[in-house]
Structure 1
């Protein structure tokens, strides 16, 4: 009897695995077919009635799959359009339905598209909210996902499809990409699900899923990923639910949508009890705390996926302390989810004194509602509405924090004795060493911040119950006993020896490993160095991580005080907070105006595949490209390679002496070199290896970021990031970015500076969004026809600065302009945080001209007629907002 049970379990597991791979690869034939290569052998002879009217690509899928997977996977993929032809019709039907439910977003075009002439339309082209004008249709360049110095320019959407390809016919691009894809597949010793999913992401994220009679705005990767996720949900629903899966209906509530959100993040990151005592190592610690929360969020999502028996494809989004997961709608899944939530929140109480809280919301969903007017049922056909509902449920959950953990919250630990209070977080802790000023938790965050800045590999370890927690801190940069999951970081270049050694040492304690390449899609370089036995537990993938931090070679990271010294003029630190405006509306209503489907049936735009596409494209920008943008702001540890004479050196560079403090060397001075103006390309290439970034990314991912750095670099960085974000989102009026910048002294409490930047961001959003708040002023990014925008104001500030450096405009005149603004326009020191008031104030400023006579009188002091005429023309127009450019110049003119 036991043998029969074990055999059935083994068969069911094989069924499940076969379905996973078949679902993920069911449409890979579309990629293959578009190369122009022919199917040979038995697959070429299969008649249309066997594979279905629209399923010809399945022959190419089957032909490819047959080289690496067994016949059962081939069978399911081959007949996913005609499941009755399969040897496993029940499993094939699960795939058929998952495919259909994933592709409910497909909008039928009035004319058939030529597959080889039609690239992928950017998802951002389709977004439209309210009265905003429609975006121009942009196309995604046909390239593999790759992060390099030119990756943004290579991958950003283009207006004309001709700009996305080397020739008008895409066949050569398909052939080249297919060759690279199959070369990587061929070189693998083992083909597991996660590694295959990562390869699909790398090579099929820019390939349209459906082209012929559909608007091609969903990638093959996102369609394949969500199909695999839904197929697993259907399999588990049928296995675990008392209500068995029906094979024909679409209104059965098979799916469970899960949203999670960790609250208290910003307070946790910037909580500092004694700022002066905690100053040493602060940059590493803040970076470590942000990374800790990123890893914690990922670990929670992984724990849910593992305990609910899901795949990584079921995690639709994870970032910024939030995650979205699609799961089967079973009592087993719900009970397990509630158990995980309660367990994690108990840990948050014990470990962080209830400063963090995990809110989780769930909702049952079908594929397509029987009654579209029913407001109380949700379906995948309108995933945006479902997400809004879950957001509302999360908000409600946060009002009742720890309601199931009240005994733990109010437990009085009268028997526990502590040695000291942590100077950073203020929590009580046991002191292991008299010199310790911070608790072990804060020290671990500092170590984590240090390790990630040096690493290009991250290993995720899923631990079994045999692992001894006492050794965790020795083995892991991050470890959570509650989640049985750990992370470690490595810097590997020439071989994977250190990765292999680490995995070998933990092999007996772990059920699964993931080797993740950071910010590099060449993630299989060491895959074949592992033996085949080890590979049974290992998968390989890549991840984008915004991990730019200022670091002096071999001496550790630069402190915030150093970054302030790098600023020109006044030694000030800039703190920038930005996030995407109206993101909830983008997901909920952004695709409502897409055309109707077949026979007048309305198809909601925000399907599960479109949600996956939109999330991944935003995260690629904020987690990946942000590093590329940050790399444009640098100083140099050495410039000797340029062989400059003294005169050339003095013209090109400013040396800055910094006092280093680290664990090994105290009070050592180093010299860094800052370019006085833009270097030419040749000099940049020569000095590449000595670059030190000045931008410290505390956090960036999902749809927001928080960065610190020299105040002037931060202001320029904000401008460049916003400009590139608009390019990435097709200059769509419905997708915008707001920001807030606080400028403080380096000794100012960093947590308070971050809160100020948050308040300025809130002011930008309260005044109508798509704005930035700087120097206490909220302005549009661009001129809007009436009011001047940040870009024009900063350009004027740079021009004023040049005039001052050339001795054409005096400091006195610049300060006079600021005083004119104050006497004319500054009626209150409070920042405006209301859109109507902001419009009224700026309209009134335009009508106020009392400053003109004094301004023109002051201009008479300028000897250069051309400069005088230029300032006369621009100054009058810009005076209502002149506080921003003259504040910029005032800071830059000051002597350090």
Structure 2
């Protein structure tokens, strides 16, 4: 038997580790057909199985229940046999003891009750009667699959499609899509996951890692392998084991820290659910888009943007680490972490408000010194609340209460904090006049060569240019990032030869995953061989395949600007990817336009989804799961989709619930449509989860900041038009305006440049029409000059439908032009061409499935 004496207290890290591992026995139990392996392991270890049952299992109706706790103990036996070890400052025996006793805590052990209370509060249920009965009978337990969460979301935008499932398998882009049931294969899957768990745990538990690195590695392994293992098989079948364990770890760590600070280590104090012990806090990076696209010139823009986006994410990572270090807490306290935002569960410690104020000022000082006000890091905390709030669920659509109420209070505190940006820095008299931030240009070499705004204070050794601190860091990281295996977060070291990027709290980055015990955290860009590094999928960026591609010549890209095979593509090269080869081999020519498309998209009504979409069960685990799934789609499935189907697409950012992509213009509309279809599959076809998008078409030399604003305007138009739509052609490149269109008639017709919003169904039809028109042009059936006329008449048709009197004669004139054109065609071509023209421009009163203006524009641009 393990330690018999009551454990008086736990550190926050020990409580977190116990919370992360307390239910690992559920995977072990389902991976084995019976308890023979369990009995054998106890016999080999010289342990008394019957005595352990009586010590760690509750009893009901004369039999022991919750037998998965025995299997958790079985896991710890396996680690002992494998020679695996806990970090040196962790009492491993205490962690194991409280983890396996979470259903039968000793009446005189406050530490036991820390984990037991955290388990009960995280699930929001005192007991899970149906789960308990199923486990006792052992019927169907090994066949249970995780019920998919997203198909169940309901916010009043249609009926959810019904139950769908995630089989137990490792997290991957393909596995994120829910599917039908296949319970017969679940036992094999559980067995494979159990073997992978033991291998993965051994990969980092032998290396004497620090407690922080150990915890991060354990969290990464848990997310990868336990994300689709049901925690509750009957009562809450859509809660994964990973999210439940992480919620337990967060609550347990906060409880341990609070009771240590209060010196209140009694069972009665731990079980007290009335005293406020918790607070929610949030870190939010603001001004991302403005800071990201501040560029002076376009040289190396693709490399700098990728690195800036990466550094912004690393800034939040470092700030979270700094805050946790100041409070003596663990990373398990981070409930949500995505899209430049992190939400944490904190203990309501004495002096917490003063500590938060100090940390806020520290962050404000750092952001001003490095970003000069372009980027802000907002830290806010909600009021203290008691444990009973975790148990109060409330009803969807009613006034927020319980945990939902605490998240609403945190949101209000965050909005209030945003109204006083850089408050900690302002309090020291930083502003000159009203809102003016002083910049130390007197000691600088002019303006930064990259952003053109901040003082140039560092000379980048790689090219000799003078830059501000953040742009110098971005330039250096940008050289390594495309080929890096990962990165590590390290403490500051002024003597470091590579001069890595400085981050809040004096932390720095190194562009590879493993840096030994000095690393605070380590991340790998590939799962294979990650070891103690946490897998972090990289944003997808396109690489040069053939520097001598003749399309680059056609686009006028100098040979010196094309890089080498494997280098990151420039935006000019991405634009050139839109060009096509047309004609027979002996007469092959390059046609089209070398334009870029800036695509911006996000999830519709996401605030409502989080606030009301989960029904009555808005526990920390369910909210965390919803956030994690959304981030996994944009952060993991999207790069997979781009690499497979749209390899010339550049990811500026993707995560949380939104994305910003730069693609060759010709692929942008099919990409947007494919993205919407794929997201719908990810949501299980649920009409309550939809995507809106906006696209701007620009020349590669067009200022990116303006292009992004245009895409943002198009996205706003799509949302204003009803959501679940795409906005496009808000502003069209000047070269697209053709004289033919203007000469056709003096009466003005609305231009496609005035902005359009299409449903996704209409976009699908429009792309089909555009392909048909393009095929007709390539086959010689339709001359481009006639397409210009079609586009003009399509604009007149739209004007007439909008009530423009001068456009009312469009149909008569169009039929005359079409008839004249068709009369010149050979009989074998006429019938199909006539049908195509009728499809593009049906008569008044008939519904046009496709947008002929956009379709003809696409066909014209492809054949310019």
TM-score by length of 2: 0.79
Q: Kindly tell me: are residues 351 and 881 of structure 1, through their superposed partners in 2, closer, same or farther at Cα, counting changes over 3 Å? A: same
Partner of 1:794: 767
Match of 1:61 among 56, 64, 72: 72
CA deviation vs aligned residue, 1:364-396 (integer Å, no higher than 9, x gap): 233334996999xx9998444433332232222
Q: Kindly tell me: are residues 826 and 326 of structure 1, through their superposed partners in 2, closer, same or farther at Cα, counting changes over 3 Å? A: farther
Match of 1:51 among 46, 57, 63: 57
Partner of 2:624: 612
Partners in 1 of 2:642 and 2:484 — Cα distance? 18
Indicate conservation of the 8 Å contact 1:305/1:315, yes or no: no
Partner of 2:192: 176
Q: Kindly tell me: are residues 780 and 49 of structure 1, through their superposed partners in 2, closer, same or farther at Cα, counting changes over 3 Å? A: farther
Q: Kindly tell me: are residues 128 and 43 of structure 1, through their superposed partners in 2, closer, same or farther at Cα, counting changes over 3 Å? A: farther
Partners in 2 of 1:380 and 1:258 — Cα distance? 18
Partner of 2:857: 887
Partner of 2:582: none
Partner of 1:626: 638
Summarize the alignment of residues 454-493 of structure 1 with structure 2, pairs less than 5 Å apart: 454-461=483-490, 463=491, 467-469=492-494, 471-472=495-496, 474-475=497-498, 477-480=500-503, 482-490=504-512
CA deviation vs aligned residue, 1:315-365 (integer Å, no higher than 9, x gap): 122232211111112134433222111111111122222222222221223
Partner of 2:322: 303
Query: Displacement of 1:584 after TM fit?
Result: 1.1
Matched, 1:782 2:753: no
Structure 2, unmatched stretches of 5+, are 1-6, 60-64, 81-91, 209-213, 546-563, 580-591, 731-754, 823-828
Partner of 1:642: none
Partner of 1:317: 336
Query: Displacement of 1:401 after TM fit?
Result: 1.5
Partner of 1:681: none
Indicate conservation of the 8 Å contact 1:821/1:880, yes or no: no
Summarize the alignment of residues 296-445 of structure 1 with structure 2, pairs less than 5 Å apart: 296-363=315-382, 364-369=384-389, 382-406=402-426, 407-410=429-432, 416-423=442-449, 424-430=451-457, 432=459, 436=465, 438-445=467-474
Partner of 1:754: 708
Indicate conservation of the 8 Å contact 1:141/1:155, yes or no: no
CA deviation vs aligned residue, 1:264-317 (integer Å, no higher than 9, x gap): 111111113x4xxx2211111111111111111111112112222222222122
More moved, 41-50 vs 449-458: 41-50
Partner of 2:101: 79
Match of 2:298 among 260, 268, 279: 279
Partner of 2:696: 742
CA deviation vs aligned residue, 1:517-548 (integer Å, no higher than 9, x gap): 11425412xxxxxxxxxxxxxx4321123242
SS in 2 for 1:341: helix
Query: Displacement of 1:856 after TM fit?
Result: 4.2
SS in 1 for 2:285: strand
Matched, 1:265 2:276: no
SS in 1 for 2:511: strand
Partners in 2 of 1:891 and 1:818 — Cα distance? 12
Match of 2:717 among 763, 775, 779: 763
Structure 1, unmatched stretches of 5+, are 1-10, 491-498, 525-538, 593-603, 635-692, 784-788, 828-840
Partners in 2 of 1:418 and 1:718 — Cα distance? 44
Partners in 1 of 2:467 and 2:285 — Cα distance? 24
Indicate conservation of the 8 Å contact 2:439/2:455, yes or no: no
Partners in 1 of 2:231 and 2:543 — Cα distance? 41
Partner of 2:171: 145
Matched, 1:19 2:36: no
Query: Displacement of 1:31 after TM fit?
Result: 0.7
Q: Kindly tell me: are residues 816 and 331 of structure 1, through their superposed partners in 2, closer, same or farther at Cα, counting changes over 3 Å? A: farther
Partner of 2:311: 292
Partner of 1:229: 250
Matched, 1:706 2:660: yes
Partners in 2 of 1:417 and 1:371 — Cα distance? 58
Partners in 2 of 1:515 and 1:373 — Cα distance? 37
Partner of 2:600: 577
More moved, 422-431 vs 751-760: 422-431
RMSD: 3.2
Partners in 1 of 2:11 and 2:424 — Cα distance? 38
Indicate conservation of the 8 Å contact 2:16/2:332, yes or no: no
Partner of 2:587: none
Matched, 1:864 2:860: no
TM-score by length of 1: 0.77
Match of 1:518 among 503, 521, 525: 525
CA deviation vs aligned residue, 1:841-891 (integer Å, no higher than 9, x gap): 88x89xx99644444444443433134224424642337732222222121
Structure 1 consecutive aligned stretches of length 4 or more whose deviation exceeds 6 Å: 11-14, 105-113, 242-245, 370-375, 378-381
Match of 2:206 among 185, 189, 192: 189
Indicate conservation of the 8 Å contact 2:335/2:342, yes or no: yes
Indicate conservation of the 8 Å contact 1:122/1:138, yes or no: yes
SS in 1 for 2:271: coil
CA deviation vs aligned residue, 1:124-168 (integer Å, no higher than 9, x gap): 02210024212322111321124xxxx42x44111x213xxxx62
Query: Displacement of 1:27 after TM fit?
Result: 0.7
Indicate conservation of the 8 Å contact 2:18/2:98, yes or no: yes
SS in 1 for 2:789: helix
Partners in 1 of 2:445 and 2:269 — Cα distance? 62
Partner of 2:228: 206
SS in 2 for 1:331: coil
Partner of 1:540: 533
Partner of 1:533: none
Partners in 2 of 1:19 and 1:251 — Cα distance? 21
Partners in 2 of 1:766 and 1:384 — Cα distance? 28
Indicate conservation of the 8 Å contact 2:540/2:643, yes or no: no
Partners in 1 of 2:717 and 2:349 — Cα distance? 44
Partners in 2 of 1:571 and 1:725 — Cα distance? 29
Match of 1:32 among 28, 31, 44: 28
Partner of 1:566: 577
Indicate conservation of the 8 Å contact 1:104/1:381, yes or no: no
Partner of 1:809: 782
Query: Displacement of 1:586 after TM fit?
Result: 0.8
Query: Displacement of 1:550 after TM fit?
Result: 3.3
Q: Kindly tell me: are residues 575 and 519 of structure 1, through their superposed partners in 2, closer, same or farther at Cα, counting changes over 3 Å? A: farther
Matched, 1:156 2:181: no
Q: Kindly tell me: are residues 487 and 417 of structure 1, through their superposed partners in 2, closer, same or farther at Cα, counting changes over 3 Å? A: closer
Partners in 2 of 1:205 and 1:803 — Cα distance? 50
Partner of 2:141: 115
Partners in 2 of 1:18 and 1:437 — Cα distance? 48
